[in-house]
Amino acid sequence: MHVEQLYTNCLSEAAYFIASEGEAAVIDPLRDVDTYLKKAEEMGVTIKYIFETHFHADFVSGHLELAKATGAPIVYGPKTKAGFPIHEATDGEVFAIGKLKLKAIHTPGHTLESTCYLLNDEEDKPYCVFTGDTLFVGDVGRPDLFSGNMTKEELASMMYDSLQKIKGLPGNVIVYPAHGPGSSCGKNLGPETYSTMAAQAESNYALQDMSREEFVNAVTSGLSTPPAYFPINARINKEGYTTMDEVMGVAMQALTVEAFKDKVAGGAWILDTRPATVFTQEFVPDAISIGLDGRFAEWAGSILPFNQPLVLVTEEGKEEESIIRLARVGIDNVQGYLDGGLQAWKAAGEEIDMIIDIDADELAMDIPHDSRLEVLDVRKPTEYEAGHVKGAVNIPLDTLTDVANIASVEMDNNLYIHCAGGYRSVIAASLFKRQGYDNLRNVLGGFAKMKQVKTMPIVTPKVEV
C-alpha cells in the first residue's frame, strides 16, 4: 500500500496518490499533471481512477488533463452536474484499487457535491479518510462559496449532518484534507497538513458537542470575503477548460523587445514574476509585481483580470514555471515572455523604473517630521486590527483591483507602503506605480520589522481585565 500527500505550498493544496498491486488513484490533482504521470510510470502502476472531493474554487483541478492522458474515469460524489463525462458515485459506493477499498461518503456543506473518501487497507480496516474541504486540521470548509442559491446557514446545517457521518471513525484513522494553513477555503486552518480523527475530535471546534444552531453560528461567523477568483475557478472546474498543451503553445513564445512592446501597445499587461526584493531595484515601467517566491498563484488570481492578455518578465529559466502556476488558477491568456528578461530590455536602451526600499527605523524617524507622510497598510483587516502604526490607512491588497481605492489616496503625499513581511507591499506599490504614483516607499520587512523599532508609534487592541 502506498499513500502519498503531494503538497503545494503556494496554494496550500494537497493532492493524493494511492497505489496497490499495480493500480493507482489520484485525489484532487493539480492542473499540471506530469507529477502524477511520472510517479505512476516510476512505480509501474496504472492510474485507474481520478477522484474529486468537490468542485474546487481556489485552483483549477487536473481532472480533465489526467483523464485525457490515462483514460481513467473522473469520480465525483452524489448530486454532481458537470460539463464533461463523470462517474457520479453513490453514497457508500466502494472502489477497488488493488487490494485497497475506497468508500465514497457524501458530505455536503462546503458544496452540495462535497464527498469524503474512506480508504481501507489490505486487511479491510479503515486507514485514512480524504476529507477534501469538509474537514480540515482545526477547521471545516466555509459554507459560502459555490452552491447555487443556498444560504451559508443552509449549507452549514447540511455540514452539521455530514460531520456526524465521519465523527464515528476510529481515532487512529488519518485525516488527509485538501488544504493546509493559509488557505482561504476555511477560516483558520491549523499548522499541520494532516492529522488523526482522535486529534481532531479533541481540538477541532467543529467536532465538539453542540446543537445544530450553535454549530451554524460558529461556522458562519467571522468569515472574510473570499478571493474574487474563487467563483471563476469553481465554474472552470465544473464546465471544463483549455488543455495545458494549448496554453503552453501560446504562452511559451520568446518575445523580442520590439515584439514585447507591440503586445503591450495592443493592450497586454506586464507581469513581473521575479522576487519582490529584485523587482523594486529595477523593472519595466507599468509592470505588476507578483513574485514566484510568495503565494504567487493566489495573488495572481486575486489581482489580475482573467480576460486580460499578459506578457511576462521572469528570471532566466522561470518562464515555464510562471506560466504553469498562472494556469493553476485559470489564468491562461499569457501571450509570451520577454526573451532575455530585464537585461535584454536594458541592453536595448529602454526606460526602467524603480521603487525605493526603506528600513523600518527610517520610517520611524520620518513620521514626526513629514506632514505629508502617509502610511498605507495593505494587510487584511484582521491583521490591521491586531496592531498597526498610529494613523496608518488600511487598504487591503485585494481591494486595490478597484482603481477607485487607489485614487482615494492623495497622489502628492509621501506614501510608505507595508504589509506583514514585504511581499504584498511590493505588489501594492507596483499597482500604485502603474497608476502614476511616484512618491512612495516600500517598507522592508513589513510590520514584523516595524514592531521591533522602539520609536514606532504602534496601536494595539486594549485587553480587558
Distance CA 269, CA 254 (A): 16
Is 179:14 a contact under the CB 8 Å cutoff?
yes
CATH 3.40.250.10 residue window(s) in the chain:
242-347, 356-459
Among the residue ranges 82-91, 226-235, 261-270, the one predicted with the least confidence is 226-235
Element (H, E) at 327: helix 319-327
Q: Is the pLDDT of residue 3 over 50?
A: yes
Element (H, E) at 417: strand 414-418
Distance CA 370, CA 362 (A): 12
Is 352:345 a contact under the CB 8 Å cutoff?
yes
Region 347-357: mean pLDDT is 98
Q: Is the pLDDT of residue 465 over 80?
A: no
Distance CA 340, CA 312 (A): 11
**Cell, residue 277:** 526584493
- State the pLDDT at residue 224: 84
Among the residue ranges 22-26, 351-355, 402-406, 442-446, the one predicted with the least confidence is 402-406
Alpha helices in 172-271 (DSSP H): 197-203, 212-220, 230-239, 244-251, 257-265
Q: Is the pLDDT of residue 89 over 70?
A: yes
Q: Is the pLDDT of residue 464 over 60?
A: no
Which DSSP letter does residue 444 get?
T
Region 206-229: mean pLDDT is 93
**Cell, residue 393:** 490607512
State the Rg of the chain over Cα: 24
- State the pLDDT at residue 200: 97
212: helix, coil or strand? helix
Please provide residue 277's backbone torsions phi and psi, each rounded to the nearest 5 degrees: -70, -25
- State the pLDDT at residue 133: 97
Please provide residue 123's backbone torsions phi and psi, each rounded to the nearest 5 degrees: -95, 10
Which DSSP letter does residue 268 get?
P
Q: State pLDDT tens for residues 125-136.
A: 999 999 999 999
Q: Is the pLDDT of residue 336 over 50?
A: yes
198-215 CB burial, b ≥16 within 10 A, e <16: ebbeeebebbeeeeeeeb
CATH 3.60.15.10 residue window(s) in the chain:
2-232
**Cell, residue 356:** 525605493
Q: Is the pLDDT of residue 30 over 50?
A: yes
Amino acid at the residue 59 = F
- Residue 243 burial by Cβ neighbours in a 10 Å radius (0-12, 13-18, 19+): middle
- State the pLDDT at residue 349: 98
Distance CA 248, CA 242 (A): 10
Which DSSP letter does residue 401 get?
G
Q: Topology of 356-459 in CATH?
A: Oxidized Rhodanese; domain 1 (3.40.250)
Among the residue ranges 85-89, 187-191, 361-365, 435-439, the one predicted with the least confidence is 187-191
Distance CA 131, CA 361 (A): 46
Taking CA atoms, 326 is separated from 34, 305, 337, 353, 413, in Å, by 16, 12, 13, 25, 34
Please provide residue 128's backbone torsions phi and psi, each rounded to the nearest 5 degrees: -155, 165
Region 277-288: mean pLDDT is 98
Question: Which CATH entry fits the domain spanning 2-232: 1.20.1260.10, 3.20.20.80, 3.60.15.10, 3.30.2230.10?
Answer: 3.60.15.10
Please provide residue 305's backbone torsions phi and psi, each rounded to the nearest 5 degrees: -70, 140
Average pLDDT, the chain: 95
Strand 356-358 relative to strand 440-443, pairing? parallel
Question: Which CATH entry fits the domain spanning 242-347: 3.40.250.10, 3.40.50.450, 3.90.1010.10, 3.30.70.20?
Answer: 3.40.250.10
Q: State pLDDT tens for residues 152-202.
A: 999 999 999 999 999 999 999 999 999 999 898 888 899 999 999 999 999
**Cell, residue 3:** 499513500
- State the pLDDT at residue 188: 84
Q: In this structure, which long-range contacts are made by residues 209-212, counting pairs with CB atoms below 8 Å and at least 24 apart in sequence?
A: 212/157, 212/160
Taking CA atoms, 381 is separated from 181, 224, 303, 318, 368, in Å, by 18, 9, 18, 33, 25
Taking CA atoms, 379 is separated from 225, 226, 230, 385, 398, in Å, by 14, 15, 20, 10, 9
Is 450:363 a contact under the CB 8 Å cutoff?
yes
- State the pLDDT at residue 228: 87
Give the N- to C-terminal CA distance of the chain in Å, as an integer. Answer: 54
Q: State pLDDT tens for residues 294-329.
A: 999 999 999 999 989 999 999 999 999 999 999 999
- State the pLDDT at residue 146: 66
Residues of the chain above pLDDT 90, percent: 93
Q: Is the pLDDT of residue 458 over 70?
A: yes
- Strand partners of residue 44: none
Distance CA 63, CA 397 (A): 31
